[in-house]
Amino acid sequence: MMQRHAFTRRDMLRFATASTTLSLLSACAGAGPVLKPVGKVVVVGGGFGGATAAKHLRMWSGGRVAVTLVEPSWQFVSCPMSNLVVGGSKTLADITVGYQGLKRWGVNVVHDTVSSIDADKHRVHLASGTSWSYDRLVVSPGVDFLYDQVQGMTADASTVVPHAWKAGGQTVLLRRQLEAMPDGGVVVMSIPLAPYRCPPGPYERACQIAWYLKTRKAKGKLIVLDANPQVTSKGPLFTRAWKESYADLLDYRPNAKVTEVDVPGKTFVLELGDRVKGDVLNLIPPMRAADIARASHLVTANQRWCEVDWITMESAAVKDVHVLGDATLSAPGMPKSGHMANQHAKAAAAAIIEIFSGRRPEPPTMVNTCYSFVDDHRAIHVSSVHRYDEGKKTLVPVAGAGGVSIPDGERWAIEGSYASGWAQTIWADMLA
C-alpha cells in the first residue's frame, strides 16, 4: 500500500523558505494546493541517473516529495570525460563533482551501501544497519562485470589489468600504467561484445591512448582487440580519425574476442587461441546490471538487464521500483549512456510526481547526445531522439531525427568545445 503523508501549511512554509533563491521551486510551490502530491522516495545510486532523479523529484514537486539518496562515494566522478584523464589532457579533479548541490535542493544524501531491498515492506536496508522506507524506490545502480566470462580474470586482478570503466581509482591506475610504460611499449585494450556501457567509449579511449603515445611516446603501439565485427558507434568517424591521426601506431582488430587473461604474463588470449602480449593491458569486461539489481530480482532479461515500463521506468518485475540507466534493457536504438540515464531519471521523476498527484503519467520524449574526443580538443557526436510508440509499448528513435558529426576533422574542434560544455552543463543539471 502506498503511504501518503499529509501535506501541511507548515511543510509548505518550510519548503518555500528553503527555496526562496530558486525561482522554479518557488513557482512550483504556488501550484501546491492544486497538485497535492506528497510521497517518499529513496534513490539508490548517485550517478547520472540517480542524482538527476533526486534533484528533479525535489525541483519539479516544489519540494513536496521527500528524497533520500544512497550513494557510497563521497564525490561523483564522471565516466564521460574520464578517457581524457587516461589520455592525460584532464585530471581526475576536472571530472569530479561533490554532492553539496543536491543537499541544497533538500535531498537527504546518505553515503552508505544498500545491503538489501525489501520490496514487500517498501524498505531499503543499508550496510551501516540503518534502513529507509519508501513509497517509490528508484534504483540506478550502474553495471557490474562478468569476470566469469574471461578465464583467469577476477575483480582482484583489476588492480593489475584495469578496466577503468568505472571512473575514479581505476582511471588513475590505467593512466599511471601508461606513464610508467617505456617508450616503445605496447598497450593492448579489449572491447566486449555489445551491449555494454557507452557504445563509443572504447573507441574514444583508443583515440586518447593513441594521442598520448603520439605526443609523448612516439615509438609506442596500441592494439585494439574488439569482440564486435566492427566499430559499434560512429564507425566511419572513428575510422577516419584513426587513419588521419594515428595510422602508424594504432592496430584495430575486429572479431577479436578475449576469453582469457594471463595476468602475470600480461597476455590476452583470444577465442581461437591467439595470444596478444602487452606492456599495459586494459580489459573492458563484459557487463550486466549491478549486483544490487540482481539481488533485488530486478534483472529479467538474459540474466543481465532490467526490463522497465518506458512510460514510468517502473520495473517489469517489482512493483513501485523504478530502474534507470545502464542497468535497463535498452529500448531499440537506445545507447547505455550518461545522457540517456539523465533522461530516464527525468521520465521517472515526472511519472512519480504524477502518480503521487493521482494522475496518469504521460509518455516521455528522450534525447541522447554522446560526444567522443578524438584527441585533446576535437570531438565527434552521435545524437538521437526517442518517442513512445503506443503499439510497440516502448520508446523508438524518431525517424529523420538524430545523426552524427560531418566527416570533416577541421569541424571537430568546435564540437570539442560543445563536448566540454556538455559535460559541465549535464553535471550541473544533475548535481547543482
Partner 1 sequence: MNTRSIFVGGLVTALVALSSGAAAQSNASDTPAFYLTGTCTNCHGTQGRSAGAMPSLAGLSQSYLVEQMKQFREGKRPATIMHEIARGYSDEQAALIAEYFARQSPVR
| Binding flag, residue 12, partner 1 (CB under 8 A) | no
| Binding flag, residue 7, partner 1 (CB under 8 A) | no
Binding-site member from 362, 392, 393, 407 for partner 1 (CB under 8 A): 362
Q: Choose the stretch contacting partner 1; rule: CB under 8 A; options: 146-154, 156-164, 278-286, 364-372.
A: 364-372
Q: Are strands 287-289 and 143-145 parallel, antiparallel or unpaired?
A: antiparallel
Which residues 402-421 are close enough to bind partner 1 by CB under 8 A? 402-403, 405, 411, 414-415, 417-418, 420-421
What Å distances lie between residue 40 and 26, 188, 216, 336, CA to CA?
A: 20, 48, 53, 28
Q: Choose the stretch contacting partner 1; rule: CB under 8 A; options: 160-168, 239-247, 262-270, 393-401.
A: 393-401
What Å distances lie between residue 73 and 97, 100, 169, 235, 339, CA to CA?
A: 11, 13, 12, 34, 20
| Binding flag, residue 3, partner 1 (CB under 8 A) | no
Other CB atoms within 10 A of residue 127 CB? 12
- The residue (of 1 and 34) whose beta carbon lies closer to partner 1 is 34
- The residue (of 272 and 399) whose beta carbon lies closer to partner 1 is 399
Judge whether 413 and 405 are in contact, CB under 8 Å.
Answer: no
Judge whether 180 and 172 are in contact, CB under 8 Å.
Answer: no
- The residue (of 278 and 335) whose beta carbon lies closer to partner 1 is 335
| Binding flag, residue 422, partner 1 (CB under 8 A) | yes
Can you tell me the distance from the alpha carbon of 89 to that of 81, in angstroms, rounded to the nearest whole number? 10
Q: Choose the stretch contacting partner 1; rule: CB under 8 A; options: 112-120, 199-207, 278-286, 394-402.
A: 394-402
Q: Choose the stretch contacting partner 1; rule: CB under 8 A; options: 88-96, 106-114, 307-315, 379-387.
A: 379-387
Binding-site member from 19, 35, 203, 331 for partner 1 (CB under 8 A): 35
Q: How far is the CB of 420 from partner 1 (least distance, A)?
A: 6
Exposure on the CB side of residue 97, measured as CA atoms within 13 A: 23
Binding-site member from 366, 375, 378, 394 for partner 1 (CB under 8 A): 366
Can you tell me the distance from the alpha carbon of 152 to that of 55, in angstroms, rounded to the nearest whole number? 42
Q: Choose the stretch contacting partner 1; rule: CB under 8 A; options: 112-120, 244-252, 258-266, 398-406.
A: 398-406
Which residues 56-95 are close enough to bind partner 1 by CB under 8 A? 56, 59-60
| SS3 (DSSP) at 260 | strand
| Binding flag, residue 218, partner 1 (CB under 8 A) | no
Q: How many residues bind partner 1, per CB under 8 A?
A: 53
Q: Which residues of 296-308 are buried (b: 16+ CB within 10 A; e: fewer)?
A: bebbbeeebbbbb
- Measure the N-to-C terminal CA separation of the chain; round to a whole number of Å: 34
Q: How far is the CB of 157 from partner 1 (least distance, A)?
A: 36
| Binding flag, residue 204, partner 1 (CB under 8 A) | no
| Binding flag, residue 359, partner 1 (CB under 8 A) | yes
- The residue (of 262 and 309) whose beta carbon lies closer to partner 1 is 309
- The residue (of 101 and 162) whose beta carbon lies closer to partner 1 is 101
195: preceding bond cis by omega (within 30 degrees) = yes
Q: How far is the CB of 59 from partner 1 (least distance, A)?
A: 8
Q: How far is the CB of 57 from partner 1 (least distance, A)?
A: 12
| Binding flag, residue 385, partner 1 (CB under 8 A) | yes
- The residue (of 219 and 393) whose beta carbon lies closer to partner 1 is 393
Can you tell me the distance from the alpha carbon of 223 to that of 365, in angstroms, rounded to the nearest whole number? 39
**Partners of 250 in the β-ladder:** 222
Q: How far is the CB of 80 from partner 1 (least distance, A)?
A: 11
Residue type at position 175: R
229: preceding bond cis by omega (within 30 degrees) = no
Closest by alpha carbon to 354, among 54, 65, 157?
A: 65
Q: How far is the CB of 403 from partner 1 (least distance, A)?
A: 4
Q: Choose the stretch contacting partner 1; rule: CB under 8 A; options: 90-98, 196-204, 206-214, 381-389.
A: 381-389
Residue type at position 319: K
Can you tell me the distance from the alpha carbon of 142 to that of 289, in angstroms, rounded to the nearest whole number? 6
| SS3 (DSSP) at 429 | helix
Closest by alpha carbon to 321, among 38, 119, 47?
A: 119
Contacts of 137 (CB under 8 A, 6+ apart): 41, 42, 43, 44, 117, 119, 122, 124, 320, 321, 322
- The residue (of 177 and 384) whose beta carbon lies closer to partner 1 is 384
Judge whether 223 and 251 are in contact, CB under 8 Å.
Answer: yes
Residues of this chain that bind partner 1 (CB under 8 A): 23-24, 27-28, 30-31, 34-35, 55-56, 59-60, 339, 342-343, 346, 350, 354, 359, 362, 364-367, 369, 381, 383-387, 398, 400-403, 405, 411, 414-415, 417-418, 420-429, 432
